[in-house]
Structure 1
Amino acid sequence: MRVHRSGTSPAGAALAALALLLPLALGALATPAAAQDPGGARQTPARGSAYMGMGVAAHDGRGAEPAGLAVQAVQTEGVDVSSHNGNVAWSTLWNSGVKWAYVKATEGTYYKNTSFTQQYNGSYNVGMIRGTYHFATPDTTSGAAQADYFVNNGGGWSGDGRTLPGALDIEWNPYGATCYGKTQAGMVAWIKDFLDRYKYRTGRDAVIYTATSWWTQCTGNYGGFASTNPLWIARYAAEVGTLPAGWGYYTMWQYTSSGPTVGDHNHFNGDYSRVQALANG
């Protein structure tokens, strides 16, 4: 559009103003509202406040359970919780059909869940099989250091038949760069460092929680963990969709980040005996 600088009519002036404002408006639309404050600055959450699916919800949208959820085989309902859920009404969840739970234990090497005792012991006391997860921050310390911190602060495993192996929550970075400043090869090496150390400390292979789109972007869709580490996939849709490379099936599926009672809701791919089998190793 060419704008005359002399003898401009009122209508022409309005069009000129629109031409100047339009790029600014489009720029605002290109930035998600969740990443802005009223002044337009990106909001970065406090360290330690991340929870399983936080990045998935921000990237893919926060879904409720879709109508007609495509579940073909027997599934066992579970939840995952963190300090943002506070004290959980475990008996209510149990009575609604939830039979297993994962509780956030740690993040990085700097944060421990302030609601851990109520959540971890409470789920156990109502009869659930429960485990713990670690929110990874590969840009802060090594994988091995974070695995040690996890195991030392609630992330261990015991063969009591009621304890699931620890889970590594590796997803979008809520505090900065999507892939934590790592190359794809560097991210794979970091994850391997964590998994190897966790296996050394506990004797169990950790579960990997991720989303296919993040995994593809940040690891190059690496398939080398599929033979040893159970997959917990995050996808808020009627079907689980394409899985990361190597995994022919998922063990758990986080299908919504806004459960009807509390926490994110998940399907375990099998009946209750399969949940027990994972706990027993």
Structure 2
Amino acid sequence: MPFPTDWAPRSYGWTPSRNPRARRTAPTGPAGRAPRAPIRDWSSGSPPRGPASWQSWSATAPARCGAFGWRARFTGEAAHASAAPERGRNALAAAAQATLALLGMTRFATSDTRVNVGTFQAGGGANIIPAHAELTYEVRARANEVLDELNRRAGDIVEGAARMYGVTADSLRYGQAATSVPDPLALRAVEEAAATVPAVTRYLGRASAAGGSDDAHSMITTVQAAGGVGAYLMVGARSVDVPHHHRRFDFDERALGIATDLLEAVFRGSGA
């Protein structure tokens, strides 16, 4: 990642000469910025239990879950549910069968896995056998080889449900993310940078991935395959004790500045 050519060196780091924030006089944070106040924070998307505490830290996760996201469309044949039920091919029933089978998939002893069906759309009139149905689902796993096998089995379930009801199923992959393992060199760079950011009060070299996925891991694995190094860095910022996507989920925006300071310190310290 190249730096802009108008950045000028200073004794405590590199400061962008055109950045108004660089004119601050207290060089106590990265690039001479004043330290940010610590916030209530945790790593890897998993909140601590117990009384709230006001602190912040950074963590690099060894690997989050890889994922495949799919949209499956089932096409059958509409017919009157009373006058000619034998002429119909129920796409809704096939999609429902696939949904239950996907959610009931056997998990793996060798890797943490996740399966979810997130949307389901079908229907028409109560007196009409539905000819169309669509669902979206995803599979996740920490190990790429397990993810591939889980993904294959999920595809078989969709195809099998379609055959059971005499309909067709077309699947479209709309998302994919791999897993990655951080390089020791990158971990050291993050640890050294975290020590220079006052708002980071705790550093975890390894952290639980909490089942999440991120396509940034695909970029990391590509860089590593080309001889580079990489690590996935997380700065938690959840402000309420509820899971992601919950209706009350929120995050403390002050973590954005802390994350910026930390990333800046990583790149300056590594000589990038």
Which has the bigger relative contact order, CA under 8 A and spacing at least 6? 2
TM-score by length of structure 1 reads 0.25
Flag the structure with higher helix content: 1
TM-score by length of structure 2 reads 0.26
